[in-house]
Amino acid sequence: MKKHRLTIFIFALMLLQCANIFAQQAGKTDAIYSGLPWYDQNGKVVSAHGANIVQENGKFYLFGEAHSDTSNAFAGFNCYSSKDLYNWKFESVALPVQKNGKLGANRVGERVKVMKNPFSGEFIMLMHVDTLGYKDQFVGYATAKNIAGPYQFKGPLLFKGKPIKKWDMGTFQDDDGTGYLLTHGGMIHQLSKDFKSIIAEINPAITTGFESPTLFRKNNTYYFIGSHLTSWEKNDNYYYTAKSLYGPWTARGLLAPKDKLTWNSQATFVLKISGTKDTTFMFMGDRWSFPKQLSSATYVWQPITFKGDSISIPQYLNAWTINLNTGTANPKSIIRKTILPGDQTISLTGNWKYSTIDSISIIRSDETKASLSFKFNGKQIGLYAVLLPDNGYAKVEIRDKKGKTIMSNIIDLYSKSPMLQLAFLSPVLPKSDYNLTVSVLGERPNWSDKRKSLYGSTGNNITIAKLIIQE
Ligand code: GAL
């Protein structure tokens, strides 16, 4: 009996140690890394899409859609907090799936946005509510006394007693504290003083489409970003400027270079970070990955470049830093030990092909379970991939020296617009011997929209350019 207890005790201790591997290293992420899964303090993937950020008590609070890898049904809205915008702590499911009603199981809840009402101090959450087939769309709201919730879902936000029957939405809070709801097409609706209803439609639709409406202000110019209507597929987002929210709005063209599909993302919010020297406006976009939106959808957060009142994201930064005192953003070069595809220390199983794409050496396979393994001693490992239209999902696993899997995740290597980028970066681990295995999952992101148009990848390939190691 005693021996039995001891075994249980040792086993519990081992479990604790295993759970702690990430917790021990919390706070170690040193930059904003786009296009790869982020891990919270428990080693779980950060799931917060269609998000926004609210600053409160010296912290940033990130609100976004929780997702699953199996269906598009509402899975709640998550809340994370951070002091540096690099390391995210899971706070709560701010609004869980309701027992029944319009945000119950098998409904859709998207594009959650939270604002603090400056007059009441209450937190107001707005969201797109719908059926799974997107046939009962309206803007809903929820309220909470504390930023991380719990939020109480109140139903539709009303204008003259009627719901706003729109799909994509966003919010904007002007410098005087007034709150606005933005809806697809570019409509702007002014919120009542308590943010719980609409008092006026102050700007009519500017155009058709214009999904994921995202608005910010710099000095006396308003910038209004939106995307084309291509479901979860990424496209070239574009923007308008105006001197007043009432317009007139001037079309200003694309936000990122043409055909780069907004660096393979869709706008959701712009965060203003003011410091003693600079103000950085951070574009926040979603890199959707249907159906594996929990494990594989990622975040594209990039500093916006201004030239007069033109904005752009001229290049994709794999990593960049923000100094929260000065407000200055800087690209971060990732200098690590590099292992190229032909390296003798990489072991392969299954069928792989070596080739080059734009003079970048790559190794590629589409055979399910074909794998690439690499042993390393260090603290962190990363993977650069060439994202391609016929790429699919890769499974990434890290084992410790005893062969025990300490992390496993699926990453998406598909992009309609080819790009070389950092596609995986492990959490910072205690320095030790590990084994990284990357294998072909044999699945790919693809789906059809409500008009039955087909979207997504044409193959299950994974295309790897190099590994990087922090010793
Ligand atoms: C996009 C929209 C997303 C989601 C998706 C569903 O256009 O921006 O929020 O609704 O369609 O296909």
Look up the CATH number of the domain holding residue 391. 2.60.120.260
Query: What spacing in Å lies between the alpha carbon of 231 and ligand 1's midpoint?
Result: 5
Domain C-terminal end among 277, 310, 331: 331
Which residues are 274's β-sheet partners?
Answer: 279
Comparing C-alpha atoms, which of 45, 50, 54, 49 is closest to residue 22?
45
Please give the number of the atom of ligand 1 that sits closest to the Cα of 447: 12
Mutate to test the pocket of ligand 1, among 72, 107, 132, 167 (most ligand atoms within 8 A of CB): 167
pLDDT of 3 higher than 90: no
Between 46 and 9, the more confident residue is: 46
Between 267 and 24, the more confident residue is: 267
- pLDDT for the residue 451: 76
pLDDT of 19 higher than 80: no
- pLDDT for the residue 102: 98
* 10 in any annotated domain: no
- pLDDT for the residue 25: 55
Going by alpha carbons, the residue nearest to atom 12 of ligand 1 is 231
Q: For 165-174, write each residue's pLDDT tens digit.
A: 999 999 999 9
- pLDDT for the residue 182: 99
- pLDDT class for 2, splitting at 50, 70, 90? very low
Residues within 6 Å of ligand 1 by CB: 50, 110-111, 168, 211-212, 229, 231-232, 266, 449
- pLDDT for the residue 180: 99
Mutate to test the pocket of ligand 1, among 110, 127, 287, 451 (most ligand atoms within 8 A of CB): 110
Q: Do 136 and 249 sit in the same domain of this protein?
A: yes
Q: Which pTM was predicted? A: 0.94
Q: Let me know if 230 is exposed, middle or buried by CB neighbors in 10 A (0-12, 13-18, 19+).
A: middle
Query: What spacing in Å lies between the alpha carbon of 88 and ligand 1's midpoint?
Result: 25
Q: Do 268 and 347 sit in the same domain of this protein?
A: no
Task: Indicate the SS3 state at residue 333.
Answer: coil
Query: What spacing in Å lies between the alpha carbon of 214 and ligand 1's midpoint?
Result: 14
Query: What spacing in Å lies between the alpha carbon of 168 and ligand 1's midpoint?
Result: 7
- The answer to whether 281 and 216 have CB atoms below 8 angstroms apart is yes
Q: Which residues contact 219 (CB under 8 A, 6 or more apart)?
A: none
* 6 in any annotated domain: no
- pLDDT class for 358, splitting at 50, 70, 90? very high
Query: What spacing in Å lies between the alpha carbon of 353 and ligand 1's midpoint?
Result: 36
> Could you tell me the two tokens for 354?
């070596």
- pLDDT for the residue 385: 98
Listing from the earlier edge strand, what are the strands of the sheet with 266-274? 266-274, 279-287, 298-303
* 264 in any annotated domain: yes
Please give the DSSP secondary-structure letter assigned to residue 258: T
Distance CA 359, CA 376 (A): 27
> Could you tell me the two tokens for 60?
């940033």
Going by alpha carbons, the residue nearest to atom 1 of ligand 1 is 231
Distance CA 259, CA 252 (A): 16
Domain C-terminal end among 276, 296, 331: 331
Query: What spacing in Å lies between the alpha carbon of 184 and ligand 1's midpoint?
Result: 11
Please give the number of the atom of ligand 1 that sits closest to the Cα of 110: 9
Q: Do 286 and 219 sit in the same domain of this protein?
A: yes
Alpha carbon separation from 467 to 157, 255, 381, 405, 424 (Å, rounded): 49, 31, 7, 19, 9
- pLDDT class for 462, splitting at 50, 70, 90? very high
Q: For 296-312, write each residue's pLDDT tens digit.
A: 999 999 999 999 999 99
Please give the number of the atom of ligand 1 that sits closest to the Cα of 50: 9
> Could you tell me the two tokens for 402?
């005893």
Mutate to test the pocket of ligand 1, among 127, 211, 228, 290 (most ligand atoms within 8 A of CB): 211
In DSSP notation, 5-47 reads HHHHHHHHHHHHHHHHHHHTTTT---SEE-SS--B-TTSPBP-
Count of structural domains within the chain: 2
Q: Do 293 and 354 sit in the same domain of this protein?
A: no
- pLDDT class for 57, splitting at 50, 70, 90? very high
Q: Is 246 left (phi over 0), alpha (psi -120 to 50) or beta?
A: alpha
Mutate to test the pocket of ligand 1, among 169, 229, 231 (most ligand atoms within 8 A of CB): 231
Distance CA 457, CA 462 (A): 12
Distance CA 415, CA 395 (A): 17
Which residues are 168's β-sheet partners?
Answer: none
> Could you tell me the two tokens for 392?
């699919």
Comparing C-alpha atoms, which of 259, 206, 205 is closest to residue 237?
259
Q: Do 387 and 430 sit in the same domain of this protein?
A: yes
Please give the DSSP secondary-structure letter assigned to residue 299: E
Give me the chain's average pLDDT, please.
Answer: 94
- pLDDT for the residue 45: 97
CB count, 10 Å around CB of 178?
Answer: 14
Q: Do 73 and 93 sit in the same domain of this protein?
A: yes
Longest dimension (CA), the chain: 80
pLDDT of 15 higher than 90: no
Going by alpha carbons, the residue nearest to atom 11 of ligand 1 is 231
pLDDT of 1 higher than 50: no
> Could you tell me the two tokens for 438?
């990357």
> Could you tell me the two tokens for 154?
């109140």
Query: What spacing in Å lies between the alpha carbon of 50 and ligand 1's midpoint?
Result: 9
- pLDDT for the residue 27: 58
pLDDT (average), residues 10-23: 47
Q: Do 312 and 204 sit in the same domain of this protein?
A: yes
In DSSP notation, 105-149 reads TTEEEEEEEEEE-TTT--EEEEEEEEETTS-S-EEEEEEESSTT-
Query: What spacing in Å lies between the alpha carbon of 204 and ligand 1's midpoint?
Result: 21
Q: Do 447 and 325 sit in the same domain of this protein?
A: no
pLDDT of 282 higher than 50: yes
pLDDT (average), residues 109-126: 98
Q: Do 99 and 163 sit in the same domain of this protein?
A: yes
- The answer to whether 470 and 450 have CB atoms below 8 angstroms apart is no
- pLDDT for the residue 452: 79
pLDDT (average), residues 184-204: 98
pLDDT (average), residues 340-345: 95
Alpha carbon separation from 117 to 114, 178, 192, 413 (Å, rounded): 10, 9, 10, 40
Query: What spacing in Å lies between the alpha carbon of 212 and ligand 1's midpoint?
Result: 8
* 399 in any annotated domain: yes
Q: Do 255 and 358 sit in the same domain of this protein?
A: no
- pLDDT for the residue 8: 52
- pLDDT for the residue 16: 47
pLDDT (average), residues 220-242: 98
Look up the CATH number of the domain holding residue 286. 2.115.10.20
Domain that residue 425 falls in: 337-470
- pLDDT for the residue 450: 72
Distance CA 218, CA 224 (A): 11
Q: For 359-408, write each residue's pLDDT tens digit.
A: 999 999 999 999 999 999 999 999 999 999 999 999 999 999 999 999 99
Q: Do 87 and 180 sit in the same domain of this protein?
A: yes
Domain C-terminal end among 331, 365, 395: 331
Going by alpha carbons, the residue nearest to atom 7 of ligand 1 is 231
Going by alpha carbons, the residue nearest to atom 5 of ligand 1 is 231
Q: Do 174 and 77 sit in the same domain of this protein?
A: yes
Query: What spacing in Å lies between the alpha carbon of 229 and ligand 1's midpoint?
Result: 8
pLDDT of 20 higher than 70: no
